[in-house]
Amino acid sequence: MTADSQDTSTPTSDTPTTEAASATETAEKAPSFGWNTYAERINGRFAMIGFVALLLLELITRQDFFTWLGF
């Protein structure tokens, strides 16, 4: 039996399996409740989208935000 034809389907103890690696990766990226980095990242992205939308609204209508509110 040569080195090329050896069965490498069983992982050794020193190499991490893809299941273990994907479990830790999923745990880090999974949304969770409370104050965490995922929630802060999503909140920041939505804030940036809202700010750009407000700037576009003011640019298109030539009225500021307070005029839209009725002040």
pLDDT per residue as tens digits for the range 44-64: 999 999 999 999 999 999 998
Tell me what pLDDT residue 71 has.
85
- The CA-atom distances, in angstroms, between 61 and each of 52, 54, 55 are 14, 11, 10
If you write DSSP's letter for every residue of 32-59 in order, what string do you get?
Answer: -SSS-HHHHHHHHHHHHHHHHHHHHHHH
Query: What are the boundaries of each domain within the chain?
Result: 36-71
pTM of the shown model: 0.50
Cα–Cα distance, 29 to 50 (Å, whole number)? 24
Question: Which has more confidence, 37 or 28?
Answer: 37
Does residue 42 carry a pLDDT above 90?
Answer: yes
